Amino acid sequence: MRYYTYLEEPTLDSYRLDYCPRDQLGTVLICQWVVMTGASGVVYHSMRALPLPDKQTTVNFGTYRATGRLDEPGELMYSFRDFPAVEQFRVSHAPDTVVYDSASFRFEEGVSEYRWTEAGGSVDLTAARLGQACTFWVPEQPGFPHPVLSRSHLGKVAGTVNGDPVEGIFMVDHIYSRPELSFRETRFTTHLHHYWMNWLVEYDDGSLEGGFGWRGQPGTGFSAAHHVVDGVSHARTDARLDIGRTDRGTMETLTLRLGDDLTARFDQHSSTDWPIHTLGAVGEISRDKTVVKSWNLSENFPINWGLVEDYQAAHAALYGKYPSLRRILDTVTVADGRLRLADATSSQSKENAS
Q: What's CA 126's distance to the chain center, in Å?
A: 18
Q: What is the pLDDT of residues 261-316, one digit of tens each?
A: 999 999 999 999 888 999 999 999 999 999 999 999 999 988 888 788 888 889 88
Question: What are 192-211's pLDDT values in tens digits?
Answer: 999 999 999 999 999 999 99
Average pLDDT, integer, range 221-236: 97
- DSSP run (H or E) holding 36: strand 26-38
Rounded average pLDDT over 234-257 = 97
pLDDT of the residue at 193: 93
> What's residue 156's pLDDT?
98
Above 60 in pLDDT, residue 349? no
* Model pLDDT for residues 129-140, shown as the tens digit of each residue: 999 999 999 999
The answer on pLDDT for 348 being more than 60 is: no
Q: What is the pLDDT of residue 354?
A: 29
Alpha carbon 311 to its chain's center: 21
206, 250, 342, 351 from 345: Cα distances, Å: 51, 19, 8, 10
Model confidence pLDDT, tens digit, residues 93-120? 999 999 999 999 999 999 999 999 999 9
Confidence (pTM): 0.92
Q: Counting beta carbons within 10 angstroms of the beta carbon of residue 231, is it exposed (0 to 12), middle (13 to 18) or buried (19 or more)?
A: exposed
- Nearest in space to 35 (alpha carbons), one of 271, 263, 258, 254: 271
Helix (H, G, I), strand (E, B) or coil at 30: strand
